[in-house]
């Protein structure tokens, strides 16, 4: 087993370094914040992230069957490599335990000097506050000290939390590694902890020593969290109308073109396009270009009444796609327009389009606002631009909304795929080879 450490400014940079150097099958042993050089009064510098990662060397056992067989083949599939244990046996397991023990000791060694630094800063702040009442320079210095003190508190809290996690939760080594991988990939801590605690209750002691078994067990639990659709299903002679809504810049127009191409080329269905994106002239022209290439009709509308008329004019189409302009979830006027268009929509499947690169907190805020209209599912775009996919699982746990499609680039129609549980779990745990 090869084990290396990396330092980076943030989690995304660290993940990129690990994947570039060690490949997508690397697992995270530990993460911690450390101090860089410099800083106010020389006491401390900007916090950095230190990540310890590991991967199997050619002599290690990598024996997993295909992802689908492993995840859906029942309990026998979990034991397919019975007798060929991975990191928990022998030198590799001992090395992993040493790494975790070293991480705990290093964390504890940092806490004492950090607490001393905080105490010193408090004294400096008190001195500055007592002796300097006026002057821009003194006020600026005081603000800087306050900012640095807040950073120190945050760093101390992070180190204490990590130390408590590794010390207090008596997880087997294999679960600790997978817990760190879930956190590293963006899953919220309380969700990750719930998963590993359930695994601890359900996996027999002997099987807990088999890393492959534990990983596949956790993967099957993740599959129960995710709901997916079977794509766009045309019900006999009944026309299907699908509208894409969402914030700006997530790629709705390109996704509409991909969906339309799929229906034309793969399912041989008649397609029509409608756009309500009148804010961006370029978006309307872009959709017209796609429509011309595919040889399908396109309509431009500006109101709910015109939308209904356009749908009626295209009664001969099997599937109609409606493209909408991006709306900021914080702009009440823009959101009210979406509510007027689709608030009481009947016979329209509305897909919320979200970018996989969006921060987790923003995904939650966006979904809560758009969820005031009847949403049928989610499309996650820009997976090719993201390095962590835990936010999709956080979203699935919070909103229990099925994921319909994933997009992985700008090419039409190639860079789109039907969302499946196996694919989503693979993104999270790297079950298959890169």
Domains and CATH numbers, the chain: 2-225 (no CATH), 240-418 (3.40.50.300)
DSSP secondary structure letter of residue 228: B
Q: What pLDDT was estimated at residue 141? A: 62
The DSSP secondary structure of 354-411, one letter per residue, reads EETTS-HHHHHHHHHHHTTS-EEEEEEE-GGG-S--HHHHHHHHHH-PPEEEEE-SS-
Q: CB–CB of 163/188 below 8 Å?
A: no
Measured CA to CA, the distance from residue 405 to residue 227 in angstroms comes to 12
| Cα–Cα distance measured from residue 275 to residue 164, given in angstroms and rounded to the nearest whole number | 53
Predicted local distance difference test score (pLDDT) of residue 247 = 93
pLDDT at 39: 47
Determine the length of the chain: 434
pLDDT score at 104: 52
Contacts of 54 (CB under 8 A, 6+ apart): 1, 2, 3, 4, 26, 27, 29, 96, 99, 177
| pTM for this entry | 0.66
Q: Look at residue 153 in the predicted model and tell me its pLDDT.
A: 58
Cβ–Cβ under 8 Å, residues 335 and 343: no
Tokens 């229990």 map to which residue?
400
Q: What is the pLDDT of residue 256?
A: 95
Residues of the chain with pLDDT under 50: 38-44, 61-66, 74-92, 107, 110, 159, 162-164, 166-168, 434
Compute CA distances 179 → 79, 165, 221, 267, 348, whole Å.
21, 10, 13, 41, 40
Residues 6+ apart with CB under 8 A from 133: none
* Whole-angstrom distance, CA of residue 73 vs CA of residue 80: 10
* The pLDDT of residue 29: 65
């Amino acid at each position: 087993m090869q084990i290396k450490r990396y330092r980076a400014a943030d989690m995304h940079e660290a993940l990129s370094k690990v994947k570039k150097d060690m490949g997508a099958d690397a697992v995270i042993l530990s993460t911690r914040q450390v101090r860089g050089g410099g800083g106010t009064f020389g006491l401390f510098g900007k916090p950095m992230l230190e990540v310890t990662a590991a991967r199997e060397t050619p002599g290690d056992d990598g024996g997993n069957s295909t992802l689908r067989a492993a995840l859906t083949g029942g309990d026998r599939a979990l034991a397919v490599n019975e007798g060929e244990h991975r990191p928990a046996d022998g030198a590799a397991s001992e090395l992993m335990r040493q790494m975790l023990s070293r991480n705990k000791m290093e964390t504890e060694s940092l806490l004492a000097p950090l607490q001393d630094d905080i105490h010193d800063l408090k004294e400096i702040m008190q001195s500055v506050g007592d002796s300097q009442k006026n002057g821009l320079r003194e006020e600026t210095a005081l603000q800087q000290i306050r900012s640095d003190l807040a950073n120190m508190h945050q760093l101390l809290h992070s180190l204490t939390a990590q130390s408590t996690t590794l010390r207090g939760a008596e997880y087997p080594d294999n679960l600790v590694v997978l817990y760190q991988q879930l956190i590293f990939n963006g899953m919220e801590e309380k969700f990750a902890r719930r998963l590993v605690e359930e695994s601890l209750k359900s996996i027999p002691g002997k099987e807990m020593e088999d890393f492959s078994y534990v990983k596949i067990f956790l993967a099957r639990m993740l599959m129960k969290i995710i709901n997916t659709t079977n794509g766009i299903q045309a019900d006999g002679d009944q026309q299907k109308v699908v509208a894409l809504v969402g914030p700006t810049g997530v790629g709705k127009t390109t996704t509409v073109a991909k969906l339309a191409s799929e229906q034309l080329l793969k399912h041989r269905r008649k397609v029509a396009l409608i756009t309500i994106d009148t804010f961006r002239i370029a978006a309307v022209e872009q959709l017209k270009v796609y429509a011309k290439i595919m040889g399908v009709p396109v309509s431009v509308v500006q109101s709910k009444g015109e939308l209904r008329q356009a749908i009626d004019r295209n009664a001969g189409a099997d599937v109609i796609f409606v493209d909408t302009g991006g709306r900021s979830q914080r702009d009440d006027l823009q959101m009210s327009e979406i509510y007027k268009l689709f608030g009481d929509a009947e016979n329209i499947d509305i897909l919320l389009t979200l970018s996989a690169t969006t921060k987790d907190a923003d995904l939650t805020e966006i979904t809560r606002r758009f969820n005031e209209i009847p949403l049928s599912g989610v499309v996650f775009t820009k997976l090719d631009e993201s390095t962590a996919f835990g936010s999709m699982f956080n979203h699935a746990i919070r909103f229990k909304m099925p994921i319909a499609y994933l997009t992985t680039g700008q090419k039409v129609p190639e860079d789109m795929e039907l969302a499946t549980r196996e694919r989503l779990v693979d993104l999270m745990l790297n079950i298959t080879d890169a």
